[in-house]
Structure 1
């Protein structure tokens, strides 16, 4: 089964890269936060989707300063 990754809308290139690597990638929104294996955020804001006190039970990867390949490798390591 493919691992499901939620990703912020601003990370289009990363999203395309992860899809090509075989991951099931969807856009991150308030309604699907817990229906994934991992979440990738841009790191531009200190909160997710404008909510600073949100609690997420899934691993969150900060994409700031990382290449698409770095993010992919971090997802693989996180989901081992």
Structure 2
């Protein structure tokens, strides 16, 4: 199954993805995203200084304003 890196604060999304059988790792630092198929971030501190350095080629999903189910749907679409 696909490996999904999820920001630490998004525990409900971590649980929902695990329930669907995904290998979920907490996204604590940039290196956690390295081997992931997809990353889920809260979007709260996204691009704060107007700089966006890519650290992974994986798809990145901002969970801001989304439910856990909506994020799961986005993950499924991205990793197909």
TM-score band (shorter)? 0.7 to 0.9
Aligned residues: 77
Instruction: Show CA shifts across 1:6-64 (max 9, x none).
Output: 0100101110111011111001122222211000000111249xxx4421311000000
1:53-68 equivalences under 5 Å are 53-55=52-54, 56-68=56-68
TM-score normalized by structure 2?
Answer: 0.86
In structure 2, stretches of 5+ residues that fail to align are none
RMSD (Å), alpha carbons: 1.8
TM-score normalized by structure 1?
Answer: 0.86
In structure 1, stretches of 5+ residues that fail to align are none
